[in-house]
Amino acid sequence: MKLGKIKALALISGGLDSALSAKLVQSQGIEVLGVHFLSFFSKYNLEDFEDSPAYWSAREIGIEIEARELGEEFLEVVKNPKFGYGKAMNPCIDCRILELKKAGEILKEKRTQFIITGEVVGQRPMSQRREMLKLIDKESGLSGMVLRPLSAKILPLTIAEERGWVERDKLYGIAGRSRKVQFELAQQFALKAFSTPAGGCLLTEEGFGKKVSDLIKHQPNFGGSEVALLKLGRHFRISPKAKLVVGKNDKENKKLIALAQKGDWLIHTDNLPGPTGLIRGEFGDQELNLAGRLIAFYVHKGDSPEVPLILIKVEDEKIERTKAIALSRGDLERLRI
């Protein structure tokens, strides 16, 4: 096979390392195609992907890129990761294995010869140890097929190197957490469109991770609609089987209303400025009253301690009117997820 016909598939995260890795291979005359994987926990989706760092990173280095969704399969990884979680609720090893499995399918679909990733040996303590990279490749069925240009010189030869598709001497042997060499390369290639490491995954954020942990504990069979709620508002566990989500602003209030489904109740203030709340789960009058008191906490109450509220049952648009006295801050914080 002639070198000019060699194509590689690069996993583009939106960070600097994946962009540099694709650029290093591209600079050897190899056509590089990009793919970015989206999950329910990504900060972007298919609709706004062209606003994402991954899209603009690919544009800057001059490669085509597609976004692919991991879908429900990734939810199972989050619920029960074979190799555990990172510092938050990030199942990085299992996630990488799934991404590479999907990349292997795209490899055949696009008729590319090998895969490029931006991983650096020792940069992350969980998923980027030398032995873990080997395990990830094996578990994904891609042993020898994954080239990591930034650390290639300190890793075993890949098929791309053995067959002379890429010149190993033009790759790097970076290890550890220092990013000095990467920033020098970014300057050399004039790259500016990149995000911070792990900046695109909500699962790496401690506060979001607490919400995910709570969801797994109380609703282990959750789906995509529950994850969509996690991205909005303030969350309160009002009973073992029910929670309240309170919008932080008008935009979030509207999104909560749009996400409401059969079985949910919505709570609004009655002729007063204030947040919208959405109750989901199994609940009765006691939980509805508690939710009302939580909403009342965020309302300017004027002369009366009671806040007028409207409760709407989403299923049949049944409306109830009530009044609630705000919870104390201490009681509210004890319920906060």
pLDDT of the residue at 285: 96
Q: How many CB atoms lie within 10 A of CB 158?
A: 22
Among residues 44, 46, 40, 35, the alpha carbon closest in space to that of 11 is found at: 35
pLDDT of the residue at 126: 79
Q: What would the pLDDT profile of 127-152 be if each residue is shown by its tens digit?
A: 899 999 999 999 999 999 999 999 99
Q: What would the pLDDT profile of 307-335 be if each residue is shown by its tens digit?
A: 999 999 999 999 999 999 999 999 999 99
DSSP letter string over 82-106? TT---SSS--HHHHHHHHHHHHHHH
The label of the residue with tokens 């056509």 reads: 31
Position 46 pLDDT exceeds 70: yes
pLDDT of the residue at 191: 94
Q: How many CB atoms lie within 10 A of CB 139?
A: 18
Q: Which residues of the chain form CATH 3.40.50.620?
A: 3-202
Q: What would the pLDDT profile of 136-195 be if each residue is shown by its tens digit?
A: 999 999 999 999 999 999 999 999 999 999 999 999 999 999 999 999 999 999 999 887
The label of the residue with tokens 């997820």 reads: 337
pLDDT of the residue at 197: 67
Position 3 pLDDT exceeds 80: no
Which 3 state secondary structure label does DSSP give 44? coil
Tokens matching residue 244: 């309240």
Q: Percent of the chain, pLDDT > 70?
A: 97
pLDDT of the residue at 4: 55
Tokens matching residue 167: 């010149």
Position 48 pLDDT exceeds 90: yes
CA atoms within 13 A of residue 300's CA, in its CB half-sphere? 4
Q: What would the pLDDT profile of 249-269 be if each residue is shown by its tens digit?
A: 999 999 999 999 999 999 999
Q: In angstroms, what CA-CA distances link 44 with 11, 38, 141, 154, 285?
A: 16, 7, 28, 34, 37
CA atoms within 13 A of residue 277's CA, in its CB half-sphere? 31
Q: For 83-94, give one letter per residue: b (16+ CB within 10 A) or e.
A: bebbebbbbbbb
Which of residues 297 and 124 earns the better pLDDT score?
297
Mean pLDDT of the 194-199 span: 69
pLDDT of the residue at 198: 57
Which pLDDT band holds residue 1 (cuts at 50, 70, 90)? very low
Average pLDDT of the chain, as a whole number: 94
Q: What are the start-end ranges of the H helices in the chain?
A: 16-26, 53-61, 72-79, 92-109, 130-139, 159-162, 180-189, 206-218, 224-230, 250-259, 285-297, 329-335
The label of the residue with tokens 């969980």 reads: 126
Cα(12)–Cα(171) distance, rounded to whole angstroms? 18
Q: How many CB atoms lie within 10 A of CB 13?
A: 26
- Confirm if 224 and 40 have CB atoms less than 8 A apart: yes
Mean pLDDT of the 190-210 span: 84
Q: Reply yes or no on domain 3-202 having CATH 3.30.70.20.
A: no
Helix axes 92-109, 130-139, angle to 10 degrees: 50
Q: How many CB atoms lie within 10 A of CB 104?
A: 17
